[in-house]
Structure 1
Amino acid sequence: MSDRTVADQIVRQLRDAGVRRIYGIVGDSLNPIVDAVRRIGTAEDGGIDWVHVRHEEGAAFAASAEAQITGTLAVCAGSCGPGNLHLINGLYDANRSGAPVLAIAAQIPSEQVGLEYFQETHPDRLFVECSRYNELISTAAQSPRVVGSAITHAMAGPGVAVITLPGDIAALPAEGSAPTIVGVRAPRLVPADEDVDALVKAIDSANKVAIFAGVGVRGARDAVIELADVLGAPIGHSLRGKEWIQYDNPFDVGMTGLLGYGAAHAGMHGADLLLLLGTDFPYNQFLPDDVVTAQVDNNAQNIGRRTDVNLAVHGDVAATVEALLGVVQRKTDRSFLDGMLEKHRTLMTKVVGAYTSPAGQRTPIHPEYAASILDDVAADDAIVTADTGMCNVWAARYVNPNGRRRFLTSALHGSMANALPHAIGAQMAEPKRQVISMSGDGGLSMLLGELVTVAMYRLPVKVVVFDNSTLGMVKLEMLVDGLPDFGVDVPSVDYAAVAAALGIFSTRIENPADIESGLREAFAHDGPALVDIVTDPRALSLPPTITGEQVGGFALAMSKVVMNGGVGEAVQMAKANIKNIPRPSQFGSGG
């Protein structure tokens, strides 16, 4: 295809950068781009596909997922005004997740900018906070280098790059030649020798070392586990670190934080040296403030941001840990590690495993039980996406990584409704892999139109709805703050019937005995499928360690419910969460 127009030139640049599809919704200001996509041909023929979603927010989420799964550039587009405004939430998620995404924000005719024209906005201002590069193309000659720079910034960040493109500029004859984009490998950041020496001294001086691992341990798993063996150190992890460090890890003690489980919190607070490896864990209330802390990160901006740090090491986790191995002294006293592993086993059995045994096979269905069955039935290389909220909790606690599975969620941005569009992008990128969307009924209903996208493209996404008719995480947050839940109800909807109306294979499950067979049938179906599992709206999930203040808030909220005539509701909530009821031994000083 010759570059007749600026739009043709842009589309070819994207194609040459490895882009295979653009997610978006057509609109008049985007017409030159969309027509250029049509002319260049389909991805199967060496061109680019146009993926017509139902909401531009879904387009940005889908591009984010594709970029995270493949590690390559993904693209979304929005027409002028409302179209590119809709991109913003998904782009925030992509940027905070470090996903290399390029967004095309179409603009009104350039001669009308500043005159309060129909659908006028200023994308070059709107996208500043959710991007690493954000530029307006104002001439044809400028276009090829701005697009080239946007591609480079998105990949190098990695993160979001936005180009604002007025429709009249896109339709101009192309000028100049596009720069050649040379692939650049991420550098290996080796820590300074002085920092490694200081870290060795700190480790050798400590008696009880604990490790807390984040997403930065990706590619360093074996070395981190070897270090834990040398130091007798339990390894806790963040949500983003889970898929890279938990599996086949004999030193694993779970996760801390609001979604946490196991002995990670106890291990971190019981240590006399805490190693933070590749994590920017945001919940500082779960981090100890009276333990000597060393932080290793390849982004110096993360160091000391969440908690006081006694020793900072700027470097890749892999390079740093490899520098420690063979130098630090092996610790022969394993009592701290053994104690934390035993505590972890006990907590996993009593709390996390409480509702996955036959005791969990009751009606209404416990979401924990449903999630554990999903984990058993899912393929070994499945890609699982989870909505923010209680689905995140159930995925974090019950969906196990194995080195082949991938897990996507809105971990840092925390947006509702991410799971389904994330699944769309993941399935587009990996058409032969099983992709499962763990959707809450609140999240699914927010971007319900994307089910139409799934049906339209016959994407074999498996949507599992945890249908509890409430915004569960918000409900829990209200209760621990001493507030009776209010405004959290979600109308009961038969999502299986909705899916069936779209031609999607579906089933609705209300009996726990039907979960395994229902999931197996849906997962084996050749095409899209939805399983609507009606779960207990009173099932809550408390962190493994909570403060006395939080327990007091929960009790206060329940007393308000009772005083308002809700005795039955309070009793049923207690019954639904009897094995999660906080006990004095669980109280923690730091949250």
Structure 2
Amino acid sequence: MSRTVAEIVVETLIDAGAKRCWGIVGDTINHFTDAIRRSDMRWIHVRHEEAGALAAGGEAYMTGELAVCAGTCGPGSLHFVNGIFESHRNGAPVVLIASDVARVEAGLGFPQAVDQRKVYEQYSVFCEYISHPDQARRIVTLAAQAALNKGGVAVVIVNGDMFTEKTSDALDWSVHRPAPVLRPSDAELDRLADALNGADKVTIYAGIGARAAHDQVVALAQALAAPVVHTSRAKEFIEPDNPMNIGMTGILGNKAGVEAIDRADIMLCLGTDFAWTQFYPDGKHVIQIDRDPTHLGRRAPVGMGLVGDVGPTIDALLPRLTGDRDRAHLEHALKQWDEDRTAYATSAEEPDPSLIHPQAVAQLLDGLAAKDAIMTADGGSPQVWLLRHIRATGARRFLISLLHGTMAAAYPQAMGIAAAYPDRQVIALCGDGGMTMLMGDLLTLVQEKLPVKLLIFNNGSLGFVEMEQRVEGLLDSYTALQNPDFAALAKVCGLSGWRVDDIGDLEPAMTDWLAADGPALLDVRVNRMELVMPPHVKPSQVASTAMFGVKAVLDGRTKEVVDLLRNNFFR
């Protein structure tokens, strides 16, 4: 029996595990969306394609299963670009159906014609046209297989008229998902064990590649008396139930993590490709274990680079480790970690009830949110408050734009997560800049009945950029935001809404907001004069901030300088 290409594409995606498709209907995908209408797949209508790509990426990242988005030719497909790049960098298995103009018009400068391959092949695991109806099932199967096994976005390009073509191709193409065990050779493991057995101070640095190896990482740390530092992306996987955990390194990290790496004889990197080279030790021995050989030595020179998955590698390594360990290095790091956490807690103390520190908002949320809540955070300061003040429980999940660093990712990603997990508490920590960038999809939350809880850190500015400018000794420029009353706006859009201007009103409002049925928004006016302090403040940063103070005073902004000092240095 002959079927249309549109029907085969939809059927193949469903067979590969896809349950939803995010997008906006129109001309070149009308036959595709009609095939979805007649299938078990759910079409979710967004108001901007970028939000659709972010939502598909959020769904796929959290579930590990295939998600789909689809766009019309030209502007429709191009609007997906930033969300596709974000999702791909997160390793989310997404298939984008990017349509093109009819074949008879291809190559002739027809309106809305775009070379989709040139746009998407630079950041995808698969990018190919369906060039003949008999290819439809095979191409879509290969796309889904690449997305699921390589971890990233696969793009299938289809001319609008191709969807209506029929084929009787009955070959049984299907997606394969192998699960090989990958570890270094015995000789390499012996060499690794010799190095670790001979080292006095080992610090483990665990990344997202260790996500499935929590217990093995803890066991290795105990065997080596090694503190465990984790990347930001690995927080939810490595932090819970880990007595050796001492936080993070990097600009968003803490003193214990930075110092433990700096003091170590060996920095043992497990499944991490952390990009900020200034946080690797100078002249120290780095050993890196990663499943991708192209990552070895990419960020810092390594004394030993081994290919393997973290869990199987540790399982094979542990019997090779010998000798008692001096715990002084570990105890020093754990003591500093206690001091770091105390500093985080006191940073939220409010000297003025009309002044709400964003840290206080995050800490209250940590106590009130469900122990299995799923949280997203916008790039900039909301991600800092989540990483520093929201505890990983082992059941909570987090998604932050840490590799692509885009604005406005939090609540669109939360839409996709809420669609996949309708019975879980899904919370988006939003900046006011991020919220206003893609505000139109508040309507999607209502129309598609997605019960996302939106928390807006409303400081009236692009706060992280403002901080960057000040630390560089510049007057902050063009960062101010004239915001609406977000709570009132939410109510107009059909969401429940709360606004908080005083710290005394925060807890009851947050309690009601979390308990609300359906999507809800909490707008909290937080302190604008808030610096995200790095683990070590360099003299050059102090000098640059002082230079900002001088310039601001000369510019008639003395009150801002006083507030900045009072709220960040003299609390």
TM-score bin (small chain)? over 0.9
Which residue identity is paired with 1:38? Answer: R
Separation (CA, whole Å) in 1 of partners of 2:381 and 2:284 = 31
How large is the RMSD of aligned CA atoms in angstroms? 1.4
Matched, 1:55 2:48: yes
Separation (CA, whole Å) in 1 of partners of 2:89 and 2:70 = 19
Paired position in structure 2 for 1:328: 321
The Cα shift of 1:492 comes to 2.6
Maintained 8 Å contact 1:382/1:436: yes
Maintained 8 Å contact 1:11/1:33: yes
What pairs with 1:178-217 in structure 2 (closer than 5 Å)?
A: 179-217=172-210
Instruction: String of CA shifts for 1:531-583, please: whole Å, max 9, x gaps.
Output: 00110111121111233222222222222212222222111111121268xxx
What pairs with 1:245-260 in structure 2 (closer than 5 Å)?
A: 245-260=238-253
Matched, 1:122 2:115: yes
Paired position in structure 1 for 2:233: 240
Evaluate the alpha carbon distance shift between residue 335 and residue 361 of structure 1 in structure 2; reply closer, same or farther with a 3 A threshold.
farther
The Cα shift of 1:197 comes to 1.2
Matched, 1:13 2:5: no
Which residue identity is paired with 2:380? Answer: G
**Aligned pair partner of 2:149 in 147, 156, 172:** 156
The Cα shift of 1:459 comes to 1.3
Maintained 8 Å contact 1:481/1:554: yes
Separation (CA, whole Å) in 1 of partners of 2:42 and 2:115 = 28
Paired position in structure 1 for 2:32: 33
Separation (CA, whole Å) in 1 of partners of 2:339 and 2:347 = 15
Task: Structure 2: give runs of 5+ residues left out of the alignment.
Answer: none
Matched, 1:309 2:302: yes
Evaluate the alpha carbon distance shift between residue 432 and residue 330 of structure 1 in structure 2; reply closer, same or farther with a 3 A threshold.
farther
Matched, 1:170 2:169: no
What pairs with 1:458-477 in structure 2 (closer than 5 Å)?
A: 458-477=449-468
Separation (CA, whole Å) in 2 of partners of 1:331 and 1:246 = 25
Instruction: String of CA shifts for 1:35-55, please: whole Å, max 9, x gaps.
Output: 111122xxxxxx111100011
Evaluate the alpha carbon distance shift between residue 220 and residue 525 of structure 1 in structure 2; reply closer, same or farther with a 3 A threshold.
same
The Cα shift of 1:3 comes to 5.8
Evaluate the alpha carbon distance shift between residue 9 and residue 3 of structure 1 in structure 2; reply closer, same or farther with a 3 A threshold.
farther
Maintained 8 Å contact 1:361/1:369: no
Secondary structure class of the residue paired with 1:275: strand
Separation (CA, whole Å) in 2 of partners of 1:527 and 1:149 = 38
Matched, 1:561 2:558: no
Separation (CA, whole Å) in 2 of partners of 1:477 and 1:126 = 31
The Cα shift of 1:330 comes to 4.1
Paired position in structure 2 for 1:585: none
Task: Structure 1: give runs of 5+ residues left out of the alignment.
Answer: 41-46, 581-591
Separation (CA, whole Å) in 1 of partners of 2:370 and 2:255 = 25
What pairs with 1:562-577 in structure 2 (closer than 5 Å)?
A: 562-577=553-568
The Cα shift of 1:248 comes to 1.7
Maintained 8 Å contact 2:487/2:523: yes
Evaluate the alpha carbon distance shift between residue 365 and residue 178 of structure 1 in structure 2; reply closer, same or farther with a 3 A threshold.
farther
Separation (CA, whole Å) in 1 of partners of 2:524 and 2:41 = 37
Separation (CA, whole Å) in 1 of partners of 2:70 and 2:402 = 23
Paired position in structure 2 for 1:412: 403
Evaluate the alpha carbon distance shift between residue 38 and residue 178 of structure 1 in structure 2; reply closer, same or farther with a 3 A threshold.
farther
Matched, 1:74 2:73: no
Secondary structure class of the residue paired with 1:255: coil
Separation (CA, whole Å) in 2 of partners of 1:486 and 1:331 = 57
Paired position in structure 2 for 1:546: 537
Instruction: String of CA shifts for 1:17-72, please: whole Å, max 9, x gaps.
Output: 121110000010111101111122xxxxxx11110001111111111111111111
Paired position in structure 1 for 2:442: 451
Which residue identity is paired with 1:299? Answer: D
Matched, 1:275 2:274: no
Maintained 8 Å contact 1:207/1:272: yes
Separation (CA, whole Å) in 1 of partners of 2:467 and 2:436 = 20
Which residue identity is paired with 2:4? Answer: T
The Cα shift of 1:292 comes to 0.8
Maintained 8 Å contact 2:3/2:168: no
Secondary structure class of the residue paired with 2:69: strand
The Cα shift of 1:400 comes to 0.9
Secondary structure class of the residue paired with 2:134: coil
Moved more, 153-162 or 556-565: 556-565
The Cα shift of 1:277 comes to 0.8
How many residue pairs match? The answer is 571
The Cα shift of 1:182 comes to 4.1
Secondary structure class of the residue paired with 1:326: helix
Evaluate the alpha carbon distance shift between residue 343 and residue 410 of structure 1 in structure 2; reply closer, same or farther with a 3 A threshold.
same
**Aligned pair partner of 2:129 in 125, 129, 136:** 136
Instruction: String of CA shifts for 1:55-110, please: whole Å, max 9, x gaps.
Output: 11111111111111111111001110011001111111111111110000011111
Runs of 4+ displaced beyond 3 Å: 359-362
Separation (CA, whole Å) in 2 of partners of 1:144 and 1:205 = 55
The Cα shift of 1:188 comes to 1.7
Secondary structure class of the residue paired with 1:487: coil
Which residue identity is paired with 1:149? Answer: L
Separation (CA, whole Å) in 1 of partners of 2:179 and 2:539 = 46
The Cα shift of 1:345 comes to 1.1
Which residue identity is paired with 2:133? Answer: A
Which residue identity is paired with 2:11? Answer: R
Which residue identity is paired with 1:297? Answer: D
**Aligned pair partner of 2:335 in 328, 333, 342:** 342
The Cα shift of 1:263 comes to 0.7
Separation (CA, whole Å) in 2 of partners of 1:182 and 1:54 = 32
Secondary structure class of the residue paired with 2:313: helix
Moved more, 532-541 or 331-340: 331-340
Paired position in structure 1 for 2:391: 400
**Aligned pair partner of 2:76 in 80, 83, 92:** 83
The Cα shift of 1:261 comes to 2.4
**Aligned pair partner of 1:495 in 453, 476, 486:** 486
Maintained 8 Å contact 2:552/2:561: yes
Paired position in structure 2 for 1:354: 346
Secondary structure class of the residue paired with 1:516: helix
Separation (CA, whole Å) in 2 of partners of 1:271 and 1:203 = 12
What TM-score do the two structures reach when normalised by structure 1? 0.94
Matched, 1:96 2:89: yes
Secondary structure class of the residue paired with 1:169: helix
Maintained 8 Å contact 2:552/2:558: yes
Separation (CA, whole Å) in 1 of partners of 2:539 and 2:184 = 41
Maintained 8 Å contact 1:262/1:348: no
Instruction: String of CA shifts for 1:382-407, please: whole Å, max 9, x gaps.
Output: 10000011000000001111111110
Separation (CA, whole Å) in 1 of partners of 2:304 and 2:353 = 50
Separation (CA, whole Å) in 2 of partners of 1:150 and 1:3 = 22
The Cα shift of 1:516 comes to 1.7
Moved more, 66-75 or 189-198: 189-198
Separation (CA, whole Å) in 2 of partners of 1:232 and 1:406 = 28
**Aligned pair partner of 1:108 in 83, 93, 101:** 101
Evaluate the alpha carbon distance shift between residue 361 and residue 464 of structure 1 in structure 2; reply closer, same or farther with a 3 A threshold.
farther
